[in-house]
Amino acid sequence: MSITLVNSTLVTESEASSFNIAIPSWGQQNDDLWLLFMAKDDDPNIGIDAEFTTQFAQSSIASRDSRHEIAYRVHDGTETGPWAITQDTETTKYILSLWRGVDTVDPFDSVLFDSLAYANKSDNPVSGATLGAPNTADNVLIAYCGGNDATTINLTKPTGMTLVEGSLSTSISIPYIYVAYEQLSGSSAPGGRTWVDAGAAADGLTAAFYLRAAEGAGAGRLACMAGPGQVLLTG
């Protein structure tokens, strides 16, 4: 058994101070992993429901035009739901996904959120930390990119990857958010992956991490990547 994507959904929540995420009926099993990716217009951060653990939260910096958070929860059947999200009155998009075959004790490996890079309305590539070789073979690679801009942003997924979910930006008040994945083989560093911006200069962010495969689930890791020669946003 390898790491697999069970299901996913993308939702837009428009200018509410809070909203709820209903727990989907996706045939979830104990030890499945919920992954929640969120992109929000403007400065203040997002408040994630206490049933989730925040793995990354972009700090509030007024010069940046979008906020990003990534959180997770290991499914154990005690989820009460709906999951409550708080924010200011801005538009938020989120991708909720469910993965099977991930280590529940130590799901993350080689976390590189501290080395995120950001391009504020720039045509230059978004570059960040270089993600090294995975610890074992047969990985699943996941790439995240989100942000917003004053003009239409329409990203093309990296070559060879499959889109989990994606939604473009049509104005400065509407964020874009994309997640893609790819099954890899071997244990070498994955190499270059590029998000291509088919619109205009982007205010965007990418993230990088591995998810550790459960023992007996097959030699593998799940990875989100960002950085020079890895996951880029180009204009």
Select from 133, 131, 171 the least CA-distant residue to 152. 171
Is the peptide bond prior to 24 cis by the omega test (within 30 degrees of 0)? Answer: no
- When the pLDDT of each residue in the chain is averaged and rounded to a whole number, the result is 73
Instruction: Report the domain count for the chain.
Output: 1
Can you tell me the distance from the alpha carbon of 152 to that of 30, in angstroms, rounded to the nearest whole number? Answer: 40
| Containing structural domain, residue 79 | 4-234
Distances, alpha carbon 211 to alpha carbons 18, 75, 117, 150, in Å: 29, 15, 20, 34
Whole-model pTM over 0.85: no
| Band of residue 44 on the pLDDT scale cut at 50, 70, 90 | low
Class of residue 120 by CB neighbours under 10 A (exposed 0-12, middle 13-18, buried 19+): middle
Can you tell me the distance from the alpha carbon of 207 to that of 142, in angstroms, rounded to the nearest whole number? Answer: 10
Ranked by mean pLDDT, the top range of 33-37, 134-138, 217-221 is 33-37
The predicted-structure confidence for 137-161, as pLDDT tens digits, reads as follows 556 666 777 777 655 666 777 777 7
* Model pLDDT, residue 138: 54
* Model pLDDT, residue 179: 86
